[in-house]
Amino acid sequence: MAPEVIRHQLPLFDEDGRAGATDDEHGRDLYYLPDLPEEDPYAAGHRTCAGCGPAIQYRWVLKAAGQDTVVAGPTGCMYVANSTYLCTPYTVPWAHTPIASGGSFTSGMAAGYEAMIRKGRYPGPYPNILVMAGDGSASDIGIGSISGALYRNHDALFICYDNECYANTGIQVSPTTPYAGMTTFTPFGKAIPEGNRLPPKNLAKMMAEGHPHCYVATTTVGYPVDLMNKTRKGLNHVGAAFLHCYTPCQKGWVYQTSMTVELGRRVVESGLWPVWEYDPAQRQYHYFHPPVQRPVTDYLAMQGRFGHMLPEHVATTQVGANRNWEAIGMDVPQHLRDLEDPGRHQRLKDEEYSMPLNRGVGA
C-alpha cells in the first residue's frame, strides 16, 4: 500500500481579539506581538531598499511557515534583490521561476512531493509549499498559471505581494496600481492630470469568486499577526490557497522609510484595502471592521505618488472608499460622505492635508 501523505498542522498565533490593534490615540494597539518563532527562514543578507514592504512580508510569511518549507519566486524585485550572485537570505530551499510560471512551477512542486511520498521516495511529511509573486506576475503576466493551479487545487499557498507596480523594471503601472497613482508609465500632465485613470483590478475577489473551493484572504504588512495566521491557515488548508498582501514600495511610492507598517494600517482605515477571509467550507466571506475610519487624504498625503492629485481626483478616491465600506457591511459616517464632493477638497499637496513627509515624485 502506498505510504500516506502526512501534512503539517501549524498552530495559529493568539490574536486575542487584537488583530486590528488598538491603543494609540486612535485606539490601536501598536505593539502587540504574541510569542513568535525565533527562526527566520528569510534572514539578513538581502538587498531590497530600506523599508521595503515586500521584504517585511517575506520575513513574516517565512517565520510563520517555518523551516520545513520550499519557496518559489517569479521574476520581480523579490527575485532580483534576494538572489545576488552567491548571496541569498533564504535558509530554506528556494527557486526562481519565470514571471509567468509561478503557478505552474508551484503546481509541479506540489504534485512532485505528493508523488514522491506515495512512491516511498521521500520520507515526508509533506512540506509547506508556497510561492510569493509580485502583482505584475500574479495579476497580469502570470495570472493564468496561478488560476490554473488554484483550479486544479494543488496543495500549496499562492501569495501575491502587491506593491501596486512593476517595481523591478522601474515602477511601471500594473493592473493593481490605484486610480491616480503616478508611475513611470502613467505620468500626470495636462492631458491626463490624474496620472492613472483606471481603478485597480480586484485580484483577491477574482480568485475567491473564480475558485470557490480555495481558501482566499487579504491582508497587509500593517497587521503582522493577521498576516502570519493567514499564512498558516492557507498552508493548513488541504488544497490550494491564495493570499493577497498589500506591501508598500518605498522607492516607487515615495514616502518616509519608517512608514511602511503605518501605511499598511492606514490603507485599511481609509477604506481602500478591505481585509477579509473567504471560507471555502461555508462559502462565506468574513470581513474585518477596523476600529478607525479615516478620510482617504490621511493615506494619500503620505505618498509622493499622489502629490499631483486635484480635488476631483481625491473625491473620486473617496467615492471608491465609501463604496468599499458599504460592501464590507460598515456604515459610512456623514463626514466621509461629504468628502465625495470635490468642493470639500483642495489640491492634495496643500499642506493642510500633508504629514511632514517626503513629497518626492509629483510634488
Ligand X SMILES: Cc1ncc(C[n+]2csc(CCOP(=O)(O)OP(=O)(O)O)c2C)c(N)n1
The amino acid present at 204, given as its one-letter code, is: A
Residue 136: phi and psi, rounded to 5, are: -60, -40
Strand order in the sheet with 128-134: 94-97, 69-74, 128-134, 157-162, 241-246, 215-220, 276-279, 284-287
Question: Applying CB under 6 A, which of residues 48, 75, 97, 145 lies at the interface with ligand SF4?
Answer: 48
Cβ closest to ligand SF4, residue 48 vs residue 218: 48
Q: Considering CB distances under 5 to 8 angstroms, the limit depending on partner class, which of Mg ion, ligand X, ligand SF4, none binds residue 75?
A: ligand X
- The pattern of x and - marking residues 241 through 260 that bind ligand SF4 according to CB under 6 A reads --------xxxx--------
- The pattern of x and - marking residues 300 through 339 that bind ligand SF4 according to CB under 6 A reads ----------------------------------------
Burial of 111 from C-beta contacts in 10 A (0-12 / 13-18 / 19+): middle
Q: Is the dihedral of CA 203, 20, 25, 358 positive or negative?
A: negative
Shortest Å, Cβ 322 to ligand SF4: 29
Question: Applying CB under 6 A, which of residues 128, 168, 270, 316 lies at the interface with ligand X?
Answer: 168
Q: Are 103 and 137 in contact (CB under 8 A)?
A: no
Q: Considering CB distances under 5 to 8 angstroms, the limit depending on partner class, which of ligand X, ligand SF4, Mg ion, none binds residue 169?
A: ligand X
Considering only residues 98 to 117 of the shown chain, the ones binding ligand X according to CB under 6 A are 99-100
**Segment near ligand X (CB under 6 A); pick from 55-63, 74-82, 214-222, 268-276:** 74-82
* Residues 283, 214: Cα–Cα separation, whole Å: 10
Q: Are 147 and 210 in contact (CB under 8 A)?
A: yes
Under rule CB under 6 A, residue 81 binds ligand SF4: yes
Cβ closest to ligand SF4, residue 134 vs residue 290: 134
Q: Considering CB distances under 5 to 8 angstroms, the limit depending on partner class, which of Mg ion, ligand SF4, ligand X, none binds residue 221?
A: none
Under rule CB under 6 A, residue 149 binds ligand X: no
Under rule CB under 6 A, residue 169 binds ligand X: yes
* Residues 284, 341: Cα–Cα separation, whole Å: 34
The three-state DSSP-derived secondary structure of 85-147 is CCCCCECCCEEEECCCCHHHHHHHHHHHHHHHHHCCCCCCCECEEEEEEEHHHHHHHCHHHHH
Q: CA 250 from chain center: how many Å?
A: 14
Considering only residues 47 to 66 of the shown chain, the ones binding ligand X according to CB under 6 A are 54
Residue 165: phi and psi, rounded to 5, are: -170, 165
Cβ closest to ligand SF4, residue 54 vs residue 181: 54
Under rule CB under 6 A, residue 345 binds ligand SF4: no
Under rule CB under 5 A, residue 163 binds Mg ion: yes
Under rule CB under 6 A, residue 160 binds ligand X: no
Considering only residues 125 to 144 of the shown chain, the ones binding ligand X according to CB under 6 A are 134-137, 141
Q: What's the chain's Rg over C-alpha atoms?
A: 20
Considering only residues 262 to 291 of the shown chain, the ones binding ligand SF4 according to CB under 6 A are none
Shortest Å, Cβ 270 to ligand X: 22
**Segment near ligand SF4 (CB under 6 A); pick from 31-39, 45-53, 233-241, 285-293:** 45-53
Under rule CB under 6 A, residue 175 binds ligand X: no
Which residues are near ligand SF4 by CB under 6 A? 48-49, 52, 54, 77, 81, 163, 167, 249-252
Q: Which residues bind Mg ion (CB under 5 A)?
A: 134-136, 163, 167
| Positions that interact with ligand X (CB under 6 A) | 54, 75-78, 99-100, 134-137, 141, 163, 165-169, 174
